Amino acid sequence: MRIYITHCSSKKDDSLKDTVVAVPPSELYVGARIVPFMEHCSRVGVRWAIFSDLYGVWFPDVVHPWYEKHPNRVSPEQFRTLVADFDRVLGAFDEIRFYHHPARFHRLYRGLVEASALRNRIHLFTHRRGIV
């Protein structure tokens, strides 16, 4: 069983800011990297999720309100919680394909991959054509 995941984006639908409206990730994120990722995964029918700096692994059928959490503001304790959540939620997957842009792959996400107990199942890729 395979899943595709990418990290969150600071570019969000600002019309949701300062509201309590909860939406799926496909309605919150508007960034040029993340939108095509979500659309492509949905179009080809693969399982996908977003790794949020606040919520951890966020599946497309789950809703959350608008948030702001920069990866530089994740404390060591929060990081440990995010890694534990990642491992718990994705533990059933044989392969975890992590889509990223090398120039924007924050040390938090690199650290997540290195700290995860699932690191041997995680495969980094940089082009949407890797989603099959």
**pLDDT score, position 15:** 97
Q: Are 52 and 9 in contact (CB under 8 A)?
A: no
CA 63 from chain centre, in angstroms, equals 14
**Ramachandran class of 125: left when φ > 0, alpha when ψ lies in -120 to 50, beta otherwise:** beta
Give 3-state DSSP helix, strand, coil % of the chain, rounded to 5: 40, 20, 35
Q: What is the pLDDT of residue 108?
A: 97
| C-alpha closest to that of 107 among 81, 76, 85 | 76
Cα gap 23→45, rounded to integer Å: 20
Q: What is the pLDDT along the chain (132 residues), one digit of tens a residue?
A: 999 999 999 999 999 999 999 999 999 999 999 999 999 999 999 999 999 999 999 999 999 999 999 999 999 999 999 999 999 999 999 999 999 988 889 999 999 999 999 999 999 999 998 999
Beta strands in 31-94 (DSSP E): 48-52, 56-58, 64-65
Amino acid at 120: N
